[in-house]
Amino acid sequence: MRIVSTLKELAQLLSECTKNKSLGLIPTMGALHTGHIALVKKAIDENDLSICSIFVNPTQFNNPSDLEKYPNPLEKDLLLLEQAGCDFVFAPTKEEVYPEGYVSKDFVFGTLDKGMEGANRPGHFKGVAMVVSRLFELIKPQKAYFGEKDFQQLAIIQSMVKQAPFPVEIVPCSIVREASGLAMSSRNMRLNKLQLTAAPRVYQRLFKASKMCSSHSIFEIKTWLKNEFKNDVDLDLEYFEISNPTTLQATTNWSECDRHIACIAVFAGEIRLIDNIMLEIN
């Protein structure tokens, strides 16, 4: 596994190794877990070569404290990637990704960035688009792999690729969960024992909500779930929304579209967890 950290090294690596070969990119912010490794293995299976980027992108953090506390176990990450069979790692500094004078292209996302994460984390998706577009410019992969846990982010990136346009296929990858149902996340590393016990209730309630669709209205489900968290001393609900999975606009009636996506954000102490589940209406 070859590791590069500068644009010069990256350009040399790509010119030496990727001619006439397909390249799959897995963009990450490090603190890798089994969910990330599933993306890496999918990229390995579907491409001649795989490259994982590790960069804690400052432009997508609206909370400076969250950025400061984000875990950064680089040596452990590199070992996991090597064991998984990843070919290359790009682990740059902020100065390499955003050199002096760099200007990012502006994108317009319509309804996709207005609710949920967009409403609660101002500037977040602008930062996501900035770093992902930059990685696509530098690495020029044929495919890029993103987890469906960040469903709104995935929709943003798919829209960005069409607008640019970038000649890259975005490959959505299913959520990987702990045995408890908790969606795997780098932020889980910061949960204490009490929070680790409480956090699985996020998915448990999402799953129950998905089973209530045939007999309850959207309003009834949202009311039930909000009451569940209102009575939960360990978890604080930030938002719960049921939306059209294409436009991400909130829906109020099951007849508005064939499928709906239920998205949630919850605080366990100061640690913010997100999750989602697709709602199939029979």
Q: Which residues are catalytic?
A: 36
Decide if 279 contacts 210 (C-beta within 8 A).
yes
How far is Cα 245 from Cα 132, in angstroms, rounded to an integer?
21
The answer to whether the Cα torsion of 169, 4, 7, 64 is positive or negative is: positive
Query: In this structure, are strands 236-243 and 23-28 parallel, antiparallel, or unpaired?
Result: unpaired
User: What distance, in Å, lies between the first and last C-alpha atoms of the chain?
Assistant: 48
Token output for 5: 């950290």
The DSSP letter of residue 190 is G
How far is Cα 139 from Cα 232, in angstroms, rounded to an integer?
45
Token output for 140: 């020029």
Q: List Cα–Cα distances, 159 to 94, 156, 166, 170, in angstroms.
A: 25, 5, 11, 10
99 Cα distance to chain centroid: 25
User: What is the four-CA torsion angle of 83, 89, 94, 100, rounded to 10 degrees?
Assistant: 180
3-state secondary structure of 241: strand
